[in-house]
Amino acid sequence: MIETVDLTKKYGEFVAVNHLNLHVKSGEIYGFLGPNGAGKTTTIRMLTGLLQPTSGKVFIDGINMEEEPIKAKARIGLIPDTPSVYPKLTGNEFLNFIAAIYEIPPEESVHKVKEILEMLELSHKADELIETYSHGMKQKIVIAAALLHDPSVLILDEPTVGLDPKSAKLIKDLLRVYASRGKTVFMSTHILEIAERMCDRVGIINHGTLIAEGTIEELRRRVGEGEGTLEDLFLKLTGGEDTKDLLKFLED
């Protein structure tokens, strides 16, 4: 479970994240939806203890990130927006290295690594250097690394960017299985359709402020009778009138 209390980040005078209050339950896939520059990555970096908030608090499974960072971070699996891999390691070597960092005993990690490579359909590449992997395969090996220690909170920053449809579907299914095991999934995206298809509940962030939150159904109801689609709401809320015109133009 993830909780933030008035979480705020300023860069100088610029407010990147503004008094954010989130409550994401276990078993839930939460979509953090907003246009580019809205503050998604900044929020995720604070949730994961990589960036110090200007003010406010982060709790992971009730553990205060500021007071017990190692304990809180041990509960998290992070898939960052620009993941770094070690190109000169094989998939197997990389995952065993990560397992060692998380202090998973070797006899256990051998089994875990094998299982996870199978699940992500990477077994055939296990003994090849990561530099030979496609973009989608690299993304999957990063996901495997994030899942190795069986975190109770999985955080993904724009996970589907650059993924082929098959890999995107695989990730979608995997997140669903993960959440059904009582884990918390928090995922950022700037694409409404992805939030719609993958998430139980969505929060919309714009200019650092959470401006709407609810299930897709609830948000849809908010749009009201005949007032347009969820896309219209999203664009209206995020002030994307230009984008809307562009979309209309493309549809015509």
Ligand X SMILES: Nc1ncnc2c1ncn2[C@@H]1O[C@H](COP(=O)(O)OP(=O)(O)O)[C@@H](O)[C@H]1O
Positions that interact with ligand X (CB under 6 A)? 11, 16, 34, 36-42
CA 166 to chain centre: 18
Spatial separation of the C-alpha atoms in residues 112 and 135, rounded to whole Å: 23
Select the binding partner of residue 65 from Mg ion, ligand X, none (C-beta < 5 to 8 A, by kind).
Answer: none
Is 41 a residue that touches Mg ion (CB under 5 A)?
Answer: yes
Between CA 160 and CA 171 the distance in angstroms is 8
Of the candidates 126, 121, 123, 97, which has an alpha carbon nearest to the alpha carbon of residue 109?
Answer: 97
Min dist. Cβ of residue 217 to Mg ion (A): 27
Q: Which is nearer to Mg ion, 57 or 190 (CB)?
A: 190
211 — phi, psi (to 5°)? -110, -10
* Per rule CB under 5 A, count of chain residues that contact Mg ion: 2
Which does residue 159 touch among ligand X, Mg ion, none (CB within 5 to 8 A, set by kind)?
none
Nearer to ligand X (CB atom), residue 30 or residue 133: 30
Q: Least separation, in Å, of the C-beta of 38 and ligand X?
A: 4
Which residues sit opposite 7 in a β-bridge? 20
Whichever of 101 and 211 has its CB closer to ligand X, that residue is 211
Contact, 80 vs 31, CB < 8 A? no
Amino acid at 160: T
> Which one of 36-44, 49-57, 162-170, 171-179 is the stretch in contact with Mg ion (CB under 5 A)?
36-44
Least Cβ distance, residue 91 to ligand X (angstroms) = 28
- x/- letters, 138..177, toward Mg ion (CB under 5 A): ----------------------------------------
Options 12-20, 35-43, 88-96, 238-246: segment touching Mg ion (CB under 5 A):
35-43
Q: How far is the CB of 38 from Mg ion (least distance, A)?
A: 8
Q: What angle do CA 147, 79, 142 make, to 5 degrees?
A: 65
Place of tokens 């973009």: 135
Smallest CA-to-CA distance from 187 within 95, 116, 81 is with: 81
Q: Tokens standing for 8?
A: 């705020």
